Each structure stands twice: as C-alpha cells, then as structure tokens.
Amino acid sequence: MSAAGQAPRVIYIHGAGNKPPAAELKGAWDDDLFQRDMGEQTQMVYYADLLHARPGAIGADACTQQEAVAGLMVGTAMAAEAASPVDLSSLDERAVGRDLELLAGLSPQGQQLGLRLMLSIATRSAAQTRAEPLA
C-alpha cells in the first residue's frame, strides 16, 4: 500500500519491436508477473501502433533458460571487448548459476519475461558500448 492508502500502480513500457494490441500485451504481462488480471493496478504505456502498421503477436521463446543466460553473458562480454579485450573463457559459471536461481523463483511466464528483459538490456548496453567513441 502506498502512503495514501492505495495499492501501488505498475507501469509497463514495451520495447520498440512490434507488439500485439495493447490490451492483449497488458494481459500477457499481468499473467507473466502476477498470474492474474491486475485491472487498474497495472497500465501499459503503448506506442507500437505508432511504429508498426499492424500489431504483432506474442510468440514462443527460441531457446532454453540456460542458453539465454549464457548467451547474454557472452554477448555482454563481447560488447565490452570493444573497449578492452576480454577472455571469454573467464566467464564466471557461478554468475550464470546465480542468474538461473533468480529466474527459478518466477512463474514460467515470469521467467520468459525476465529473459526478454535481460536480452533487451544487454542489447541496449552492447549498442551503447559500440556507439561510444574510442579515445
């Protein structure tokens, strides 16, 4: 509960990729995070219709959690290599294990959303690393 005695509101903001209609996307995120319709407690900031002519669809993930987490770590290390060389063989398997433990505590839909968010963050980080001018 907030200080005013009202339940906090969660604001969802999707990425720039094509998305399903706003109500469908909000419903999927509610299910992923809370396993139920959250009504007015959640709100989707929706702008996919401004970027894409037709709505997209929610699809299945193309890899396992272990492959996704390992791929994110390798991708992040490779992006950072532009600024300073990195030995990819030195990736800490314990870090992958910790990430997998965090994901294991979520619902299956929450795990999928968590992986999507991790991928989005890693992609943006890699793009920023490449865009920075070299000194």
Q: What digits encode the pLDDT tens for the residues 5-58? A: 677 889 999 888 889 999 999 998 898 888 899 999 999 999 988 988 888 887
Number of alpha helices (DSSP H) and beta strands (DSSP E) in the chain: 5, 2
Rounded to two decimals, the pTM is 0.44
* In the chain, domain spans: 10-51, 65-131
- What is the pLDDT at residue 132? 54
pLDDT for 73-123, tens place per residue? 665 555 555 545 545 455 556 666 677 777 777 777 777 777 777 767 766
- What is the pLDDT at residue 40? 93
- What is the pLDDT at residue 12? 92
CA diameter of the chain: 52
The dihedrals phi and psi of 124, each to the nearest 5 degrees, come to -65, -40
Region of 5 on the Ramachandran plot (φ > 0 left; ψ -120 to 50 alpha; else beta): left
